[in-house]
Amino acid sequence: MFSAKKLIPLAVLSSLCAAASAEGLAARALSAISETTPAGLVDDSEREPGATGWFKSVGRGFGRLVDRGDTHLVLPLYTEHPRWDYSNRSQENAYPFGGGFARSMIDSRGNERLAYAIVFSDSHYKPEPFLGYAWLSRWNVGQTGLHVGAGYLAGLTFRADYMWLPIPAPLPLVNVGTKNVGAYMTYIPFSNVFFVFSTIAIDSRSSREMPLTPKSVWFNRSNLVYGGASWVHNDLGSPDGMTMSSDAGWNAGVRHYFDRHWAADLGVIRSRHNTYWYGDKRHKWDMTQVNLFGQYHADATDALRVFAGLGLGYASLHRDGLTKNSVHPAMQVGFTWAFSREFHLTGNMTTAFPRFHHIDDEVTTGKATARPAPTSFNLSLGKTF
């Protein structure tokens, strides 16, 4: 028979073993979580001890991902505002026009890591930048070439309704895709929306660092002058019942390449639109948009480049006896196809954020601000030199 005196040391020893086991499990869990961060891309020999060393490893790993990863074009697709929480969901922006780039890497365990920077039109038709890091564990779907994934993204976003202060955004992330194309969805709890975006693989580190040869259609072609047709989609809707039509127009511009990837683009888009008040036509307006963009270009093929740009826009809305002006941010994504050395076909989606104050005051409160959030789809033929 065991006496109480004998049971006490056994109980203490058992408790110590349980505590050590729990501590070991916690340490292993923390280590596993740490491996999913950019620090997991840093070799053990490069890591330094302590919290400061861990943050250095995160920074080093993130830089390694940006430098060595494959380039992906990122396209926001849809924002779902659930009916149970948004009685005004028809007034919220469901199509977050915009785009950006990501650098992606598949690690030694088959997990996907992304460093991304995108800008899109938020639920209130205002620009929202989002940048950060994502990790997903992936599983192949038989021999179909498809995979599914689940993980998280961690980044910073900046919103006008939060005074443009940086907002940390640790969010869940799921994915389905192939080697070159992926669809992703995340849930954003503080605004209760589901956000869907896609990625398209563009280039690898080796291809983007390969110098252009004299045989390339891009070689020694630093400038592009272009012009073509446009379709300008407006999303104007005000509490006073004012709407604005979407119509065709034209565009023209000039682009200068500073090197293989970076360019500046100055363009103009001209279109004509009607305003309506509760369905009754009020006026016809001429809209002129002038946009200056800084662009990053990536080679998808020898003759095809895709690009994303951020910049500043100026817009003028004019009718007889009245002109309204706006200076605002603008963004775009697009492509350029060099079907010959002399002539290139270029297209883009450009989203601007003008604010026109007090238009059609005779039918509104006199305090209305028109926010058409024009997104133009442009296709142009260009001459290089």
* Catalytic machinery residues: 81, 122-123
> How open is the CA angle 325-233-83, to the nearest 5 degrees?
110
Q: Do 271 and 248 meet the contact criterion of CB atoms below 8 Å apart?
A: yes
Tokens encoding 29: 């869990």
Q: Which amino acid is at 166?
A: P
